[in-house]
Structures are given as structure tokens and as C-alpha cells.
Amino acid sequence: MKKVVALLLALSMTLSLFGCGSTGTTSDSTTETTETTENSTGDTGTEDATTSEVWSDQAGAGEVCGDENGKYTIGVVIHTTTDFLCSKYKAYSDYLGKAYGVRFSYYIIENFADETYLSAIENLCAQGVDAIITTNFSGTAVLQGLKTCEQNGVYLAVGWSQIDESIWDQVFSSEYFVGSSYESDYDAGYEIITSLIDAGSTNIAAIGYEPGITCHDRRWEGMMAAFEDHPEVNKAGEYRGLEFTKAVEDFLAADNTIDGIGITLLGIEYCSEPIKSAGREGEVRIAFCDFSENCQQSLESGETVCAIGGQYVDLAFSFVLLYNALEGTPLDKVEVPVNFIVCKTGDEFADYMTYLHDDGVYAWTTDEIDQLIVSKNSEASSDTLLEMGANYSIEDTIARHGE
């Protein structure tokens, strides 16, 4: 009896780990928010739509978008598809997928452990995808993932993360690696601190995601460099971990002269309530990476002095590199640095929303992407991708798409 019970328990534990592994198909969704706000309470008109979107497209594989009957299937390994950033990422993939006959199959991961990524890649390969985009895939595990792709004849692109220098040559020499793209995370980290300093903060607490994810590591390095370059500013303390809200509370309790918090992710969500709870509203400024729909209000109120984001466009680079490879006309392998969008005022964020993020609006339209597809433009090259990444900004988008 005990053996049976132990077996059942082991099974339930295993299922809880792989509970995300089914392959249902759900319709595309574009959820808009990462945060529960009072505002949502009054909006009964959109309630049903929101309900179905949030509950239907959650964890695990089985989130499909783009062209349902597309000639290629690209698997995307990502941590969510429902927050402000990732829902737009998914919407962009839907837009591109429908235009180019590509089916996107999202594989949601619960954490960023190497084994989670490797398991995701193995599962996607087993499902028979033609190519994979891994987001935030860091460290030397990329080589292991690439090996699995090679064994299965699947192309791999890495997004939102810079390839580790120590394995760069090996990765780029692989037949099945098409290239990667990453954001200027170091500069973003630097900007977070300098914008707080420019806003008048003199005692700043630094908070970051726990070490191990390249993009967050780079942001942290940038933040630390800014502190070194500004010795006149006091670093109230540093925290790298997973309990961000508690870290903010602890900092505010330990030092009531803190007037700035720099955080590598989702600043409003993690900092706003603890600041209010400590009775320091209006006294503590925040700066961070990752936009959310609350940025508008927070930037206008002055609580947020700098919000950095707009990295959903990363998809375009992975897509172009993979699509050309799948068509048999690969571009030169390239690692594309992509600008962040930096917003320091409510107006700037409003522009971002209008020209880059609102429903149906994307940084590069299919007409522009066509110029990067060799089968449609024989002169397409990776250099254009590099230019796109370097020029990416609100102004550039307005110039291309018009007011």
C-alpha cells in the first residue's frame, strides 16, 4: 500500500513539474497588463475578453499563434505571454506569422534554470518544430541546447541575451545557430542610476534579479559602474535576489534618507506600494527596466523618473534570421545589439504607446521586414539588421511610419 502511495505521490510531483507540457491550441491573445489595478474593476465591458485571455493562454506549451497552417513552425521558449512586454512580443509574432506563413508555438517556462531551457528545447524538438527562439537563454548551457537542435535538425536563435564570450566561437560555428539579438542592458543599468541622480537623488538603493541571467547581470554591472562614476552619490545598499518587495521594505526601514531606488525589473509593481506603506510617497523616486501600463501615471506623477523598455521588437531579429535560414537563404550570422526605449516623461511614454505598442502598431511592418527576406529582396543583408537595432527609437519609428 505504501509503495502505491509513494508512487502516486512521486507521480503527482512529476506532473506538477511537467504540468506545462501539453499541446493544446488556443486562439491568439493580447493581454494588456501585468498589474491588478483598481481601474480594472470598473471595466466590465472588457471583463469577459480579459477572462478568456488570461486563463486560456497560461503556462506550458500549447500557446499557438501566427498562421495555423503555416509551412514552418517556430517554437518560442519564454517565461510568460501575458505581461505587458511578452503579450506584445506574442502579438508581434502573430502579425509576422500570419504574413509569412509561420506558426508560432510558445513554450512557457517556470524558471530560468539551465535544465528548464534544455528540457523545453528537447520537448519542442520532439514536437517537430522547424526552428526555436530562446529568450533569456544564458551561459554555457546554450551549447547544450544547440547540440540538441543539431541532432534534430532544428535552427536556433537567441533573443534578449548576449552570447557568453567563452562559447561565442563554438556557438557561431554551428550550422544550426542563425544568430542572436540583445538589448543594451549595460547602458540601461547605467541610465537607471544616472537618471535618479539627475532627478536629485543622493542616497540610492540598488536592487537586481539574482545573478545568472545575462541581461540582468549586464544591467547590474551598468548600475554599479554608474555608482563608481558618481562618488558624490551614496549607494544605500544593494540586493540581488528574488524577494524584491521585501528588499524595498527592508531598505526603507533601514534608512529613512533613501530617496531613490534603482531596480533592474518592474519597478512600479515592486516599489510603489512599499513606498506608500512606509509613508515615503513623493520622497522616493524609482527608475527601472521593463515597461508596464502603469508607467504613464507614474512618470506623470514624478514617482518614476526613468522607465526603460520596448524590447518586444527583439522578435523581429530572431524571426528574420530564422526565416531566411528556413527558406534556404540564410543571412550572415550576426549578433544584433538593439536599443532600449528610454522614457523619462509621461509624454515620451505616450509616444511609445502610440507609435510602438498600441494594438496593431509595430516597430517594423511586414513591408519593412520584406526588405530583409532574401527571397523577396536579393540584396537583404545582416548589416541592415545591425542598422535597425542601432536606430531603433521612437523618433526613428515616427520618421519611418509618419505621425
Partner 1 sequence: MKITSTNLKNALKVILLPVFVYVLFFVCSGGNFGKPSSIVMNLKQTLTPTLISYAMCCNMLCDRMDLSAGAVVMLSAMFGAKMVYLYGIGLVPFALLVVATGLVLGTVSGIMYMVLKVPAIVTALGVCMVYETLSNLASISWVTAISGEITTLGRFPWCLIIFAVMFVLFYIIFNHTKFGYHVRACASSQQIAKSAGVDTKKTAFMCYVVSALFLGVAALLKISIQGSIDTPMYMSSTNIIFNCMLGIYVGLALEPYCNLLIGIFVGNFILNMLTTGLLSLGLSASLQDTASGIFLLIIMIFTYNNQRVLDFINSRKQKQELVEAHK
Per CB under 8 A, residues contacting partner 1 are 2, 5-6, 8-9, 12-13, 16-17, 19-20, 31, 33-38, 40-44, 47, 50-51, 54-55, 58-59, 79-80, 82-84, 86, 110-113, 237-247, 249-256, 265-266, 269-270, 272-274, 276-279
Q: How far is the CB of 225 from partner 1 (least distance, A)?
A: 17
Place of cell 538603493: 205
CB of 85 to partner 1, least distance (A): 8
Residues 6+ apart with CB under 8 A from 180: 157, 158, 159, 161, 162, 163, 317, 318, 335, 336
Nearest by Cα to 321 from 93, 198, 157: 157
Q: CB 127 → partner 1: shortest distance, Å?
A: 21
Closer CB to partner 1, residue 224 or residue 390? 224
Instruction: Please say which residue, 171 or 275, places its beta carbon nearer to partner 1.
Output: 275
What 6-15 contacts at long range (C-beta under 8 Å, 24+ apart), as own/partner pairs, is none
Neighbouring CB atoms inside 10 A of 324's CB total 21
Output the smallest distance, CB 179 to partner 1, in A. 27
Given the complex with partner 1, which of 44 and 173 has the nearer CB atom?
44
For 25, the 3-state DSSP assignment is coil
Q: How far is residue 306's CA from residue 401's CA, in Å, rounded to a whole number?
A: 26
Beta-carbon neighbour count of residue 394 at 10 Å? 20
Q: How far is the CB of 299 from partner 1 (least distance, A)?
A: 16
Q: Grid coordinates standing for 191?
A: 541610465
Query: Of the two residues 34 and 194, which places its CB atom closer to partner 1 in the complex?
Result: 34
Report the greatest alpha carbon distance in the chain. Answer: 72
The residues that bridge with 181 in the sheet, in sequence order, are 336
Structure-block grid coordinates of residue 376: 523577396
Q: Exposed, middle or buried by CB within 10 Å (0-12, 13-18, 19+), for 403?
A: exposed
**Quick one: 180 or 234, whose CB is closer to partner 1?**
234
∠ Cα 32 243 309 (to 5°) = 35
On whether the CB atoms of residues 74 and 134 are closer than 8 A, the answer is no
CB 40 to partner 1: min, Å: 6
Rounded to whole angstroms, the Cα distance separating 294 from 298 reads 6
Phi and psi (nearest 5°) for 345?
-135, 165
Do residues 231 and 288 touch, judged by C-beta distance below 8 A? no
CB of 162 to partner 1, least distance (A): 21
Nearest CB to partner 1, comparing residues 17 and 399: 17
> Cβ 215 to partner 1, closest distance in Å?
13
Nearer to partner 1, 147 or 280 (CB): 280
Provide, rounded to whole angstroms, the least separation between the CB of residue 36 and partner 1. Answer: 4
Q: Which residue has the cell 513539474?
A: 17
By C-beta, is 94 or 269 nearer to partner 1?
Answer: 269
**C-beta of 263 vs 322, nearer to partner 1:** 263
Least Å distance, CB 161 to partner 1, is 17
Distance CA 63, CA 50 (A): 16
Instruction: List the beta bridge partners of residue 168.
Output: none
* Pick from 242, 340, 247, 352: nearest CA to 295: 352
> Would you say 73 or 136 has its CB closer to partner 1?
136
